[in-house]
Amino acid sequence: MMRLAVFASGSGSNFQAIADAVMENRLDAEVSLLVCDKPDAYVVKRAEALDIPIFCFRPKAYDNKAAFEKEITARLHEAEVDWIVLAGYMRLIGETLLAAFPEHIINIHPSLLPAFPGLDAIEQAWEAGVKVTGVTVHYVDEGMDSGKIIAQEAVAVKPTDSLASLTKAVQAVEHRLYPDTIQSLLKERLSQGGPTYNEHQTSINQRIE
Ligand code: GRF
């Protein structure tokens, strides 16, 4: 069973969608840890209600990004995490985490990337007057919403839409597309027959010992 850490900073509706998919056996994985940089975020309440372990931290309590990412990495290894799933984590991932989980960090973004990266993507698309927007799941690299694309789904902007109704439509697609995409990705990796990332790490550590 692949072990996921979900990183979130806000309401956590995507965290909830992933946890629901696990509980309903639509996603063969375990949510092993919530990592949150905002102790007051609603996502923390969701994780508590689901009995999912939480690592909350205040970035300001550390000297720099490398320092808090080092601590996160230690927690991830302790929880034997295989994949990092970003779900509204409002920070760029730094080189410490990228080096610790190469090609095992993914993100969801509410636009058809490369259009409208960054903050308020649904609003950016709405203001631009696009007729089609959507959702992207992609690998994470050092840039802002710039990694290789894994899955996309379009959402048509209807003449009757408001920003609020478009936001709802995009979020509904996110909540279905993210768990489905994670499931396909895990299946694909498992069918390639290699060790899970965590098994790989453990064998390296054993060799070092
Ligand atoms: C989502 O729209 C996601 O695509 C973006 O941040 C938002 C997080 O929402 N990266 P939630 O916290 O999952 O409700």
8 Å CB contact between 52 and 34: yes
The mean predicted confidence, pLDDT, of the chain is 94
Give percent of the chain above pLDDT 90. Answer: 89
Q: Look at residues 155, 147, 144, 148 and name the one whose alpha carbon lies nearest to residue 116.
A: 144
pLDDT of 204 over the 90 cut: no
Q: Identify the residue whose C-alpha is closest to ligand 1 atom 6.
A: 88
Task: Tell me the mean pLDDT in the region 127-154.
Answer: 97
**Closest ligand 1 atom, CA of 174?**
4
| Strand arrangement of the beta sheet that strand 29-36 belongs to | 54-56, 29-36, 2-8, 83-86, 105-109, 132-139, 149-156
What pLDDT digit, counting tens, does each position of 118-129 carry? Answer: 999 999 999 999
174 lines ligand 1 (CB under 6 A): yes
Reported confidence tier of residue 190, pLDDT bands at 50, 70, 90: confident
The DSSP letter of residue 180 is: H
Measuring CA to CA, how many Å separate 40 from each of 18, 23, 45? Answer: 21, 25, 9
DSSP, residue by residue, 56-110: E--GGGSSSHHHHHHHHHHHHHHTT--EEEESS--S---HHHHHHSTT-EEEEES
Q: Which two tokens stand for residue 128?
A: 């631009």
With residue 185 as reference, give the H or E element that holds it: helix 163-191
What pLDDT digit, counting tens, does each position of 1-42 carry? Answer: 899 999 999 999 999 999 999 999 999 999 999 999 999 999
Residue 20 Cα, ligand 1 centroid: separation in angstroms? 16
Task: Tell me the mean pLDDT in the region 127-155.
Answer: 97
Partnered with residue 133 across adjacent β-strands are: 155
Question: Residue 139: what pLDDT?
Answer: 98
**Closest ligand 1 atom, CA of 109?**
4
**Closest ligand 1 atom, CA of 11?**
12
pLDDT of 84 over the 70 cut: yes
Q: Identify the residue whose C-alpha is closest to ligand 1 atom 4.
A: 109
Q: Identify the residue whose C-alpha is closest to ligand 1 atom 9.
A: 88
pLDDT of 180 over the 60 cut: yes
Question: Residue 189: what pLDDT?
Answer: 86
Residues forming the active site: 109
Reported confidence tier of residue 191, pLDDT bands at 50, 70, 90: confident
What pLDDT digit, counting tens, does each position of 39-61 carry? Answer: 999 999 999 999 999 999 999 99
Q: How many CB atoms lie within 10 A of CB 63?
A: 7
